[in-house]
Amino acid sequence: MDSITSRLRRSGSAIAGSTGVALLLLGCTGSPEPGVVSPSPTVSASSAASGSASGDDPWDGQVTADVEVVMQELPVPWGLAPLPGDRFLVTMRDDAMLAVVHPSGGVDPNGGVEYLAWSSGAQELADQTVADGEGGLLGVAVGPDDAGPLFTVFLYRTGETDNAVLRAELDLDSGVLRDLTTVLDGIPKASNHNGGRIAFGPDGYLYVATGDAGDPANAQDPESLAGKILRVTPDGEPAPGNPEAGSPVWSMGHRNVQGLGWDPGGRMFAAEFGQDQLDELNVIEPGGNYGWPEVEGPGDQAGFVDPVAWWPTSEASPSGIAVTEEAVYLASLRGERLWRVPLLGEASAVADGESHGFGEPRALLEGEFGRLRAVHAGPDGVLHVLTNNTDGRGEPTTEDGRVVDDRLLRVTLTPSE
């Protein structure tokens, strides 16, 4: 196994005086026979790419991770969306609250959070959101052309009868959320397999990840919005150029997608929870069928698109993802680690039993910060990662008898010498 050295640096008055800690992070990777596509659930991490026509991972899997805690005591954070000025919008799943977080250097990790609960729009949002299991206030996205101080904000919330995507206006100067409007509703809800990630693609349309809502048959039903990736306009209408005119469905056959991202070339990726065997990283093709519930992991079956990388559910349970020029990063809940899947070329899938364009997955931050819910890659290559240990399934961290989870981490990655 390859070792990855991580340096942890904590800042802010609440944790001042902490010393740097050298962390040795081990990436348990590989397959029984490197280069052989195998769906075995006993593999630590399997990839549909053990080589590439474009060469090896230039980082060679050896990564130095410099980690800084920039915010803490966040109650069940879920969604993460960037704002100008190195700020983020963060959703709090159970409290149905939206916050502006300022993780700039030197900010007290117990401060720098502005909750929008006092505005009428924020109160309306809380009133119509029902937190139940994996449901609540989930994904958040900001209009791609917004420069501020007025922003169009999109939110995925669970209500009494369904999941819905809402649009609102955020005045960042005053911290007021207003004009809350439902743009897409009727998405089946459930306490499990509830989806929730939303993101704008490079084409300017909004992509919405939904779960099968506990009924696997939904994923193969083209009339159901469950178990799908949807592509809609900012008004919630089916986007032009969708595979089926008049339908918001972009891809189907999904169990529970919670990660969406695009590489610089416009290639779309999605992370998906498996059932009992394998979690997936997929390249999303318009009109593609990703096999659930007929296939979990790679199945090599006609009509279904195989994943490009997969893991046993105990080592991943991937939620949010971030895509950079050099890799896809997956925030893993049950696996309590950040997976790095190198991007080696332009090929997007497995062909003729051989795979191209993806390197061997390697683990970062393994077991050091618990459950990881979301990850965002900034233009400077720095990652911001949200932990999720207060969601009822984790073990919150305490310091001096006080619960300090959940946290926002700043992670700077560089290739090791």
* pLDDT for the residue numbered 52: 35
In degrees and rounded to multiples of 5, residue 376 shows phi and psi of -130, 135
At residue 46, does pLDDT exceed 60?
A: no
DSSP class per residue in 5-36:
EEEEEE-SGGGTTPPPEEEEEEE--B-SSTT-
Beta carbons of 395 and 388 less than 8 angstroms apart:
no
At residue 32, does pLDDT exceed 80?
A: no
At residue 85, does pLDDT exceed 60?
A: yes
* pLDDT for the residue numbered 114: 82
* pLDDT for the residue numbered 42: 26
Tell me: the pLDDT tens digits for 303-314?
999 999 999 999
Q: What is the DSSP letter of 238?
A: B
Helices (runs of H) and strands (runs of E) counted in the chain:
1, 31
Tell me: the pLDDT tens digits for 199-251?
999 999 999 999 999 999 999 999 999 999 999 999 999 999 999 999 999 99
Measured from the Cβ of residue 336, the count of other Cβ atoms closer than 10 Å reads 22
Rounded to the nearest angstrom, the gap between the alpha carbon of residue 249 and the centroid of all alpha carbons in its chain is: 20
Beta carbons of 281 and 328 less than 8 angstroms apart:
yes
Beta carbons of 230 and 219 less than 8 angstroms apart:
no
Q: What is the DSSP letter of 216?
A: G
* pLDDT for the residue numbered 113: 83
In degrees and rounded to multiples of 5, residue 126 shows phi and psi of -65, -40
At residue 263, does pLDDT exceed 80?
A: yes
Measured from the Cβ of residue 307, the count of other Cβ atoms closer than 10 Å reads 29
Rounded to the nearest angstrom, the gap between the alpha carbon of residue 286 and the centroid of all alpha carbons in its chain is: 20
Fold observed for domain 2-415: Neuraminidase (2.120.10)
Which tokens go with 259?
């990660």
Q: What is the DSSP letter of 313?
A: G
| Dihedral over alpha carbons 390, 392, 393, 398 (to 10 degrees) | 40
More confident residue, 161 or 63: 161
At residue 355, does pLDDT exceed 60?
A: no
* pLDDT for the residue numbered 175: 87
Q: How confident is the model at residue 62 (pLDDT cuts 50, 70, 90)?
A: confident
What is the rounded CA–CA span in Å between residue 393 and residue 379? 32
For residue 7, list its beta bridge partners. Answer: 22, 66
Q: How confident is the model at residue 108 (pLDDT cuts 50, 70, 90)?
A: low
Looking at residue 52, its amino acid is: S
Tell me: the pLDDT tens digits for 155-213?
999 999 999 999 999 998 888 999 999 999 999 999 999 999 999 999 999 999 999 99
What is the rounded CA–CA span in Å between residue 78 and residue 74? 10
What is the rounded CA–CA span in Å between residue 173 and residue 166? 21
Domain boundary assignment for the chain: 2-415
Q: What's the sign of the alpha-carbon dihedral 189, 194, 197, 203?
A: negative
Please give the average per-residue pLDDT across 7-12, as a whole number: 36
Q: Where are the beta strands (DSSP E) in 159-197?
A: 163-171, 176-187
Choose the weakest-confidence range: 53-62, 133-142, 406-415: 53-62
Instruction: Please give the mean pLDDT across all residues of the chain.
Output: 84
The residues near 130 (Cβ < 8 Å, ≥ 6 apart) are 136, 158, 159, 160
Give the three-class secondary structure for 60: coil
At residue 8, does pLDDT exceed 90?
A: no
Give the DSSP H/E element, type plus range, for residue 385.
strand 383-387
At residue 5, does pLDDT exceed 70?
A: no
For the chain, helix, strand, coil in percent to 5 are: 5, 40, 55
Exposure string over 265-285, b if 16+ CB within 10 A, otherwise e: eebbbbbbbbeeebbbbbbbb
- The reported pTM is 0.87
At residue 3, does pLDDT exceed 50?
A: no
Residue entry with tokens 């193969």: 220
Looking at residue 407, its amino acid is: R
* pLDDT for the residue numbered 380: 86
Q: What's the sign of the alpha-carbon dihedral 16, 85, 207, 268?
A: negative
What is the rounded CA–CA span in Å between residue 259 and residue 110? 28
Please give the average per-residue pLDDT across 37-43, as a whole number: 28
Give the DSSP H/E element, type plus range, for residue 126.
helix 120-128
